[in-house]
Copies of this chain bind each other. A is one copy, B any other.
Amino acid sequence: MPEVVTPAPKPRTGRTAHGRRRVRSALALAALELFAAQGFEATTVDQIADAAGVGRRTFFRYFRSKEDVVFPGHDERLAEVVELLEGADPAADPLVVLGRTAEVVLEMYLAEPEVSLKRFELTREVSALRDKEIASIDRYQRVFARYLRERYAGEPGGDLRAAVAAAAVVAAHNHVLRQWLKSRGELDAKRLLREAVEQVTAALSDRRPEPSVVEGEDVVVGVVRTSAPAGVVLKQLEDALREIR
C-alpha cells in the first residue's frame, strides 16, 4: 500500500515558524480542554477558536477538522520521519537507524508535554479518537516497515523480518511513551527508549556485532553427536560461541 502523506494546509499568515507553532499549540490545548470538559461531540470548532482567542478561519488554517486538532502536526511529523529514513546512511545498521528515528518521534511528544498528556487522557475516553491514534501509529509502522523492506530487499524472508522489526520498534516506542505519560512526564523517556530499542534490536538483528578481528583469532567448534533436535543444538552452539567471542 503506497504511503500517501497529505500535508495539512499551510497557514498563509506572515507569522514566524515559532509563532505558528504557538497558535497551533494554543488551539490544540483549548480543544483538548473543551473535549475533556464537555465531551468531544458537543464541542464545536467555533468554541475552540473562541477559547484560543482566534477566529474560525484561523482554526481551519491549522487543522482540517475537530479530529485533526487532537493530533496536531501529525502529517508534518510523518513527513519528517520519511525524510529522515530516506536520508539515512545506507551503510548504517537499519535497526539502529530505526531506533534513532523512533527517538525523534518520541521527542515530538516530549516537546509538547501538556498537549501529549491531555491527548492521552482524551484518547482513553473517546474511542473514535483512540482509533484515530491507532491508525496514526500504524502509519509510522508502515513507513518503518517500508524502509526496512528496502534495506532487506533480496534477503530471504526479508519482508517478514522488516514487518516484525518495524512492529517491535514501534511497540517499544509506544510502551515507553505510555510509561512516560502515566508518570505525568516524570520519567526519563529518552533513556528508557534507547534501552528498549537496544534490547529489541539485539534480539532481532541477525547481523552479529561487527567482528572485531583479533589477529590470528581461532574458533574451535566441538563435535556433537546427539539425539537432540537441530534447533536445540543450534541454540547451544550459539551460546557456546557467544562465550568464546
Residues of chain A at the chain B interface (Cβ within 8 Å): 1, 124, 130-132, 134-135, 138, 157, 159-160, 163-164, 166-168, 170-172, 174-176, 196, 199-200, 202-204, 208-209, 211-235, 237-238, 241-242, 244-245
A241 to B191, CA, bound (A): 31
A196 to B162, CA, bound (A): 12
The 10 closest A-B pairs by CB, nearest first: A208-B231, A211-B229, A167-B171, A131-B135, A167-B167, A221-B224, A163-B175, A230-B245, A134-B138, A163-B171
Interface of A is mostly: helix
Residues of B within 8 A of A237 (CB): 221, 234, 237
Residues of B within 8 A of A212 (CB): 229
Q: What is the distance, in angstroms, from A172's C-beta to the closest C-beta of chain B? A: 6
Complex partner residue of A208 from B164, B200, B219, B234, CB under 8 angstroms: B234
Q: What is the distance, in angstroms, from A128's C-beta to the closest C-beta of chain B? A: 10
Complex partner residue of A211 from B131, B174, B199, B228, CB under 8 angstroms: B228
Say whether, besides A135-B131, A164-B168, A230 and B244 are in contact (CB < 8 Å): yes
Say whether, besides A131-B132, A171-B166, A234 and B229 are in contact (CB < 8 Å): no
Verify B216–A227 contact, CB threshold 8 A. Answer: yes
8 more contacts with CB within 8 A, not counting A211-B230, A218-B227, are A131-B131, A138-B138, A160-B175, A167-B171, A209-B235, A211-B228, A213-B228, A221-B233
